[in-house]
């Protein structure tokens, strides 16, 4: 994927500004997403030349400011070249961090799901149930096994999750894992929530689910009659474990609304 890239220096008006110098900021934009950062330099707005994004004048202090801005520009350009040469998609934050010398660990799918599930676990009883956690952990298990089966890896950068990944994961759930339609759709929806987190944090720049559609199949619920419940209660079961299960089920029939 080709990344559009631009940068712009400009004086930024401070809050409650009346007169005097303004701080010079740099705006970096990748794929239409901007990030701002202060250069640490200032100038009077009347001396700023927006055509060349530099301070007008020939004084020594003006020359020093412009040289400093040129140094920043060159370093940003080099960081951009390095990222393009690596062949990996990147974001505004990654470019900014590369310039600032901050190493950003690549986000990987399994790690993001684990982090999501850990948050669910911490909130069990406070908005989430143990059943919800179990469902997300089952989705994680399927994702892990799919990565090994299809990609021969234990994890994958989130940028590599594309429509092909989603389509193949859907097929894997239905074929290798023998998931029925509704179970497969629920696992894909769980994965979709994690993908939306990646999109919201701009760890990925596109939604791999855009062209993928799944529909829950409506099922007819079977309602037990009083005769059915009585028949289960009166059934003779030789195994103690089954009798306990039956008793618990009958108890639930009369107590759960």
Q: Is residue 137 part of a domain?
A: yes
Whether 192 has a pLDDT exceeding 90, the answer reads yes
Statement to judge: residues 39 and 93 lie in one domain: yes
Q: Is residue 216 part of a domain?
A: no
Mean pLDDT of the chain: 89
pLDDT of residue 123: 93
pLDDT of residue 18: 85
Among 23-27, 45-49, 168-172, 221-225, the range scoring the smallest mean pLDDT is 221-225
pLDDT of residue 228: 86
Q: Is residue 21 part of a domain?
A: yes
Statement to judge: residues 167 and 118 lie in one domain: yes
Q: Is residue 10 part of a domain?
A: yes
Of the three residues 100, 128, 163, the one that is the final residue of a domain is 100
Q: For position 127, which CATH number holds? A: 1.10.150
Residue 44's pLDDT band, with cuts at 50, 70 and 90, is very high
Is the separation of the CB atoms in 205 and 31 below 8 Å? yes
Statement to judge: residues 11 and 57 lie in one domain: yes
Of the three residues 100, 121, 154, the one that is the final residue of a domain is 100
Q: Is residue 206 part of a domain?
A: no
Q: How far apart are CA 90 and CA 80, in angstroms?
A: 9
pLDDT of residue 111: 94
Q: How many domains does one find in the chain?
A: 3
Statement to judge: residues 78 and 132 lie in one domain: no
pLDDT of residue 257: 56
Mean pLDDT of 207-231: 84
How far apart, in Å, are the Cα atoms of 60 and each of 52, 64, 65? Answer: 18, 6, 9
217: Cβ contacts below 8 Å, ≥ 6 apart: 181, 182
**When comparing pLDDT for 252 and 113, which is higher?**
113
pLDDT of residue 141: 97
- How many Å separate Cα 31 from the centre of its chain? 17
pLDDT of residue 32: 87
Residue-wise pLDDT tens digits, 165-184: 999 999 999 999 999 999 99
**When comparing pLDDT for 223 and 108, which is higher?**
108
Q: Is residue 218 part of a domain?
A: no
Q: Is residue 68 part of a domain?
A: yes
Whether 236 has a pLDDT exceeding 80, the answer reads yes
pLDDT of residue 23: 94
Q: Is residue 89 part of a domain?
A: yes
Statement to judge: residues 89 and 117 lie in one domain: no
Residue 199: other Cβ atoms inside 10 A: 16
pLDDT of residue 181: 94
Statement to judge: residues 137 and 89 lie in one domain: no
Whether 29 has a pLDDT exceeding 60, the answer reads yes
Statement to judge: residues 89 and 151 lie in one domain: no
Among 19-33, 93-107, 143-157, 185-199, the range scoring the smallest mean pLDDT is 93-107
Q: How far apart are CA 231 and CA 250, in angstroms?
A: 11
Statement to judge: residues 150 and 73 lie in one domain: no
pLDDT of residue 89: 67
pLDDT of residue 136: 97
pLDDT of residue 156: 93
Statement to judge: residues 90 and 113 lie in one domain: no
151: β partners: none
Statement to judge: residues 12 and 88 lie in one domain: yes
Mean pLDDT of 73-93: 83
Residue-wise pLDDT tens digits, 121-160: 999 999 899 999 999 999 999 999 999 999 999 999 998 9
Q: How far apart are CA 22 and CA 42, in angstroms?
A: 5
pLDDT above 70 coverage of the chain, percent: 96
Q: CB burial class (10 A; 0-12, 13-18, 19+) of residue 86?
A: exposed
Is the separation of the CB atoms in 123 and 60 below 8 Å? no
Statement to judge: residues 72 and 44 lie in one domain: yes
Q: Which residues of 104-137 are buried (b: 16+ CB within 10 A; e: fewer)?
A: eeeebbbebbbebbeebeeeeeeeeeeebbebbb
Statement to judge: residues 148 and 183 lie in one domain: yes
Of the three residues 200, 215, 236, the one that is the final residue of a domain is 200
**What is the span of the domain harbouring residue 232?**
226-255
């Amino acid at each position: 994927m080709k990344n559009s890239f631009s940068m712009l220096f400009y004086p930024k008006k401070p809050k409650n500004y009346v007169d005097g110098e303004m701080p010079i900021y740099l705006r970096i934009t990748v794929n239409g997403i901007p990030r701002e950062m202060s250069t640490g330099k200032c100038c009077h707005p009347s001396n700023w030349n927006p055509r060349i994004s530099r301070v007008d004048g020939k004084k020594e202090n003006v020359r020093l400011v412009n040289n400093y801005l040129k140094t920043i520009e060159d370093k940003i350009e080099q960081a951009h070249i390095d990222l393009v040469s690596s062949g990996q998609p990147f974001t505004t934050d990654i470019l900014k961090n590369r310039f600032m010398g901050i190493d950003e660990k690549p986000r990987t799918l399994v790690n993001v799901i684990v982090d999501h599930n850990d948050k669910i676990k911490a909130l069990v009883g406070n908005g989430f149930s143990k059943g919800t956690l179990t469902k997300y952990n089952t989705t994680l298990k399927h994702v892990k096994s799919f990565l090994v089966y299809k990609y021969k890896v234990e994890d994958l950068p989130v940028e590599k999750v594309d429509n092909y990944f989603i389509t193949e994961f859907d097929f894997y759930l239905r074929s290798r894992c023998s998931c029925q339609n509704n179970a497969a759709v629920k696992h894909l929806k769980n994965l979709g929530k994690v993908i939306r987190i990646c999109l919201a944090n701009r760890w990925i720049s596109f939604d791999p689910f855009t062209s993928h559609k799944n529909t829950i199949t409506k099922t007819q619920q079977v309602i037990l009659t009083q005769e059915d419940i009585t028949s289960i209660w009166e059934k003779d079961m030789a195994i103690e474990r089954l009798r306990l299960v039956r008793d618990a089920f009958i108890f639930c029939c009369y107590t759960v609304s």
